[in-house]
């Protein structure tokens, strides 16, 4: 899956049109359409804004942290896991954004490790 497909899937999962997303993020609908169809490169500032809005990493959007064997459903399962743990706290104190990202990174690693073992039938190398 390429960046355009990821962006379109994330938008559709939220039930938004390109125009609605553009309005929420202060971007043009035509830019979003070009990015989703891979006709134009997503500028770095827009990539960061999109990653923040969807609560995913820029690496995810760029396809750098998803194993090749992972399906779209696997990616959405991970997103759901991360989105459901967005209000993280420890000992009654909310975690900082940096601490939340560290927890998300750990959850992501564990998720892919466990899923790979499951898909391989629990075999260990």
Domain that holds residue 30: 1-65
C-alpha to C-alpha distances, 88 to 59, 73, 79, 113, nearest whole angstrom: 22, 24, 15, 22
Residues 56 and 85 both lie in one domain:
no
pLDDT tens over the chain, length 125 residues: 688 988 999 999 999 999 999 999 999 999 999 999 999 999 999 999 999 999 888 888 887 777 777 887 888 888 888 777 767 778 888 888 778 878 887 888 888 888 888 888 855 44
Residues 31 and 59 both lie in one domain:
yes
The pTM assigned to this predicted structure is: 0.56
Of the residues 65, 96, 116, which one is the last residue of a structural domain?
Answer: 65
Query: CB of 6 within 8 A of CB of 60?
Result: yes
Residues 8 and 48 both lie in one domain:
yes
Number of domains within the chain: 2
């Amino acid at each position: 899956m390429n960046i355009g497909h990821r962006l379109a899937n994330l938008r559709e999962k939220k039930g938004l049109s390109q125009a609605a997303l553009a309005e929420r993020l202060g971007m043009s609908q035509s830019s979003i359409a070009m990015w989703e169809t891979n006709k134009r490169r997503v500028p770095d500032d827009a990539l960061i804004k999109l990653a923040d809005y969807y609560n995913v990493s820029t690496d995810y959007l760029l396809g750098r942290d998803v194993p090749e064997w992972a399906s779209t459903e696997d990616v959405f399962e991970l997103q759901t896991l991360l989105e459901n743990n967005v209000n993280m706290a420890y000992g009654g104190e909310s975690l900082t954004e940096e601490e939340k990202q560290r927890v998300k990174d750990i959850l992501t690693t564990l998720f892919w490790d466990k899923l790979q073992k499951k898909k391989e039938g629990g075999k260990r190398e």
